Amino acid sequence: LNTDKSLRLNPRNYIRVLSIMNFIEFHNIEIDLSKYCTKDINISDGAMKRVYSVPFKQFSITPSLLSENDYVELSFSKINGLPKIITGSVVQILNDQIIIEMDEILAVNRKYKIKFGPQPSSLRLEMTALRIIEKQNLSNLFFPLQPMKRELNYLKFNWFNKNIEQNEEQMIAVRNIVNETAFPSPYIVFGPPGTGKTSVIIETIAQIYTLKPHSHILVTASSNFACNEITQRLLKILPAQDIYRFFSRSAERYLRELDPQIVSRSNFSTGVHSYPSYDTIYNARIFICTLATAGRLNQASIRQNHFNYLFIDECGSATEACSLVAIAGLVTEDNRFTANIVLSGDPMQLGPIVRSKMAEKMGLGQSMLERLMNNPIYKRDILTKKFNNLLITKLVKNYRSHEAILHLSNKLFYENELIAMAPSKQVNWALNWSQLPQRNFPIIFESVIGTTRRELDSKSSFNLKEVDVVTFYLKQIFNFGINGFKIQQNAIGIISPYRKQCLKLKQMCQRNGWNFIEIGSVEQFQGREKDIIIFSAVKSNSNSVGFLDNEKRFNVALTRAKALLILIGDLQTLQYDQHWHQLIKYCQNGIRGVKFELKPWCDIQIDRMMNAIKTLTLSLQETCGNMNQSRNNLSNSAEKSRE
């Protein structure tokens, strides 16, 4: 545990350490959720078949640690006394109830015993992948050395996306992936916010499809959202009959929300879930599914040399073991890769969600992408300060945000290499808005001193003062527009790192009839963008910012907005984190609301040091007092014994 995370894994311990981390994560979640086991639960019919709601009030302990996709087990005793067990998963967690989806239709007039746990299927798939790696002696391949140089056979391209011709980094990435310059090492597409990472993936797949007509491509991502985005964009430029989208059964509940064209080229094309035949899999030139669903292909024993390319998008937000599910057995044989592997993502944004503190400390939260980027062959050259673009390309042209919104993240996380390239029509329309403290600076930092609260049945915090300020800005935007532009609700995103604050914000929006504003956590907004982002920090009246000190969470929150960023928080509190301190300093002319004075960072560090010394002194005094009391007690006992 004392080893640097980037050095903790090596070829000798790869299988063992990943297995241990996985088991620790699984069993810690299992222990946390076991306390919610409850008898005599009533369920109600939900909006769809096999979907049910379970009110919180039936639990003696509110299940605040539950997450979507957790395992659910309902049971009851049959007439013969034997238990009947039905399994399912958590679909949604609302303010006062849990929505669950079960594998069978249930009677709602019966009482059940309910228990929760982590998804065993995820652990099984990941452990299967690790066993394959061990059996095929593949560990060394995940610690690549400098590959042999290859000739570039494909130099001229007819670009599907003509804009790529204007972007040198994107062209280099496409050319080198098509030419397999990294093989057998994975090729990395390092895509900071708004730099067109998905465009590179789409273009590369289209070029491989065209230039290598016998190739088969497996495209995966950690989320259905990313898989659907890729499928939708590919269907616009390639023949639909050569593209297949493979869904898990759980996608059935949001089938109506999907693009009909995607559905028609999927295993939901008949209206019900089914598994694709071998012919369907082998005939599809491009096969798209989530990382977890790729494990089903392994279980079906798909030919190991069938796929020539494997793309793992959002690789930075998947655990290493999760990424292995799409690799081991599908694109491997004994001691070798059988396909070119392309990893895309951004190690400076949020990584995998890890719920066990011990597993996080061990390094489970470090993705394969982030670990490999610490490998010497993927690092910048010491002399030239450049990446080896035969192995990795960093995209640097940002097509999303106004330069002022991009500036600080660029400075703190991307070596000041990002270039703001978004069209002025997209990012300048909010300038000179009457609410901007500095008319040519599209960031507002509203200084608010509210109260951070928790309800008795929740561990998550909320701040009603900040909800009021969000309401104020939304009314200004919707009632008066911005510079003559009428703003649609779906152009706005509201982010808060606290689940309970998101709930309070949703309730406020519903009361005002704003039902199409997207509201969610930083994690939920990763990979997303909106014209306007409003961020509510929540934490107030404290010298600690809590988990707002996560620099990756900070970076994601800051880089979602295109044209207008409204930050709401207690600056007196937020200044105690170095990144928030720099943001406040950067936004000095964009601050409005409660007046406050920004302390120099060196003074804050001195205050912390003095507080630490004070705490340590009090602790030592208490310890010495206890020791003296114990000594006196022993002395008194000895005197009584002599008497």
Q: Apex CA 260: angle with CA 519 and CA 520, to 5°? A: 10
Tokens for 493, please give them: 């995103």
Distances (CA, A) of 621 to 433, 617, 626: 57, 6, 9
Q: What is the dihedral sign for C-alpha 293, 215, 226, 398?
A: positive
State the average pLDDT for the chain.
92
Q: Does residue 296 fall inside a structural domain?
A: yes
Q: What are phi and psi of 109, to 5 degrees?
A: -95, 25
Q: How many domains does the chain have?
A: 4
What integer pLDDT is reported at residue 316 of this predicted model? 95
What integer pLDDT is reported at residue 546 of this predicted model? 84
- Report the C-alpha gap between 238 and 162 in whole angstroms: 16
378 with 487, same domain: the answer is no
574 with 626, same domain: the answer is no
Q: Torsion angle of alpha carbons 535, 540, 545, 547, nearest 10°?
A: -60
Q: Of 505 and 64, which is predicted with more confidence?
A: 505
Q: What are phi and psi of 333, to 5 degrees?
A: -135, -175
294 with 407, same domain: the answer is no
The CATH number covering residue 584 comes to: 3.40.50.300
Q: With 80 as the cut, is the pLDDT of residue 623 above it? A: no
- Report the C-alpha gap between 632 and 626 in whole angstroms: 10
What integer pLDDT is reported at residue 495 of this predicted model? 98
Interval 318-331 mean pLDDT: 95
Of 65, 93, 118, the last residue of a domain is 118
Q: Of 606 and 348, which is predicted with more confidence?
A: 348
Q: What is the dihedral sign for C-alpha 27, 28, 29, 35?
A: positive
Q: Does residue 9 fall inside a structural domain?
A: no
Domain containing 49: what range?
Answer: 36-118
Q: What is the dihedral sign for C-alpha 222, 300, 26, 1?
A: negative
391 with 414, same domain: the answer is no
What integer pLDDT is reported at residue 640 of this predicted model? 60
What integer pLDDT is reported at residue 403 of this predicted model? 97
Q: With 70 as the cut, is the pLDDT of residue 643 above it? A: no
594 with 609, same domain: the answer is no
Residue 240 CA to its chain's centroid (Å): 30
What integer pLDDT is reported at residue 339 of this predicted model? 96
Of 118, 153, 178, the last residue of a domain is 118
Q: Of 255 and 539, which is predicted with more confidence?
A: 539
Residue type, 367: S
In 3D, which of 142, 104, 116, 107 has the Cα closest to residue 18?
142
Q: Omega into 55 within 30° of 0, i.e. cis? A: no
pLDDT tier for residue 5 given thresholds of 50, 70 and 90 = low
Under DSSP, the state recorded for 379 is S
Q: Of 4 and 437, which is predicted with more confidence?
A: 437
Q: Of 95 and 452, which is predicted with more confidence?
A: 452
pLDDT tier for residue 16 given thresholds of 50, 70 and 90 = very high
The answer to whether 121 touches 290, Cβ cutoff 8 Å, is no
- Report the C-alpha gap between 164 and 276 in whole angstroms: 35
Q: Does residue 201 fall inside a structural domain?
A: yes
Q: What is the dihedral sign for C-alpha 171, 144, 128, 322?
A: negative
pLDDT tier for residue 416 given thresholds of 50, 70 and 90 = very high
The rounded percent of the chain whose pLDDT value lies above 90 is 78
pLDDT tier for residue 543 given thresholds of 50, 70 and 90 = confident
User: Partners of 454 in the beta sheet?
Assistant: 461
The two beta strands, 83-93 and 71-77, are antiparallel
Query: Which single residue is written with the structure tokens 């900071």?
Result: 192
Interval 137-141 mean pLDDT: 94
Tokens for 413, please give them: 């996380």
Quick check: helix, strand or coil at residue 46?
Answer: coil
Each residue's pLDDT tens digit, 351-384: 999 999 999 999 999 999 999 999 999 999 999 9
Query: Which single residue is written with the structure tokens 């919707």?
Result: 478
Stated length of the chain? 643
The answer to whether 222 touches 314, Cβ cutoff 8 Å, is yes
The CATH number covering residue 86 comes to: 2.40.30.230
Q: Does residue 613 fall inside a structural domain?
A: yes
What integer pLDDT is reported at residue 128 of this predicted model? 94
- Report the C-alpha gap between 495 and 538 in whole angstroms: 11
Q: Apex CA 502: angle with CA 500 and CA 506, to 5°? A: 115
176 with 75, same domain: the answer is no
- Which residues, other chains included, contact 482 with Cβ-Cβ below 8 Å and sequence gap of 6+? 429, 430, 433, 564
- Report the C-alpha gap between 638 and 643 in whole angstroms: 9
Q: With 90 as the cut, is the pLDDT of residue 38 above it? A: yes
- Report the C-alpha gap between 185 and 441 in whole angstroms: 44
The rounded percent of the chain whose pLDDT value lies above 70 is 96
What integer pLDDT is reported at residue 635 of this predicted model? 64
Residue type, 112: Y
Interval 484-490 mean pLDDT: 96
Q: Does residue 16 fall inside a structural domain?
A: no
In 3D, which of 165, 187, 169 has the Cα closest to residue 178?
187
358 with 485, same domain: the answer is no
- Report the C-alpha gap between 131 and 466 in whole angstroms: 50
Buried-state track 614-640, b at ≥16 Cβ within 10 A, e below 16: eeeeeeeeeeeeeeeeeeeeeeeeeee
Q: With 70 as the cut, is the pLDDT of residue 3 above it? A: no
Of 55, 85, 118, the last residue of a domain is 118
**DSSP assignments along 526-573, one per residue:** TT--EEEEEEE----SSS--GGGG-HHHHHHHHTSEEEEEEEEE-HHH
Residue 239: Cβ-neighbour burial (10 angstroms; 0-12, 13-18, 19+): exposed
Interval 625-633 mean pLDDT: 68
383 with 435, same domain: the answer is no
Q: With 60 as the cut, is the pLDDT of residue 293 above it? A: yes
The answer to whether 464 touches 447, Cβ cutoff 8 Å, is no
What integer pLDDT is reported at residue 310 of this predicted model? 98
- Report the C-alpha gap between 183 and 159 in whole angstroms: 23
Q: Does residue 41 fall inside a structural domain?
A: yes
Under DSSP, the state recorded for 420 is E
What integer pLDDT is reported at residue 1 of this predicted model? 55
The two beta strands, 217-221 and 309-313, are parallel
Q: Does residue 420 fall inside a structural domain?
A: yes
Q: Does residue 6 fall inside a structural domain?
A: no
pLDDT tier for residue 146 given thresholds of 50, 70 and 90 = confident
The answer to whether 214 touches 181, Cβ cutoff 8 Å, is no
Q: What are phi and psi of 514, to 5 degrees?
A: -95, 75
- Report the C-alpha gap between 93 and 530 in whole angstroms: 25
158 with 297, same domain: the answer is yes
- Which residues, other chains included, contact 622 with Cβ-Cβ below 8 Å and sequence gap of 6+? none
163 with 304, same domain: the answer is yes
Interval 287-293 mean pLDDT: 96
Tokens for 178, please give them: 């098509």
379 with 491, same domain: the answer is no
Tokens for 22, please give them: 């996985």
Q: Sheet with 561-569: list strands edge to edge.
A: 518-520, 492-495, 530-536, 561-569, 443-447, 591-593
User: Partners of 564 in the beta sheet?
Assistant: 532
Interval 224-249 mean pLDDT: 96
pLDDT tier for residue 147 given thresholds of 50, 70 and 90 = confident
Among 157-161, 254-258, 379-383, 620-624, name the one with the lowest average pLDDT: 620-624
219 with 296, same domain: the answer is yes
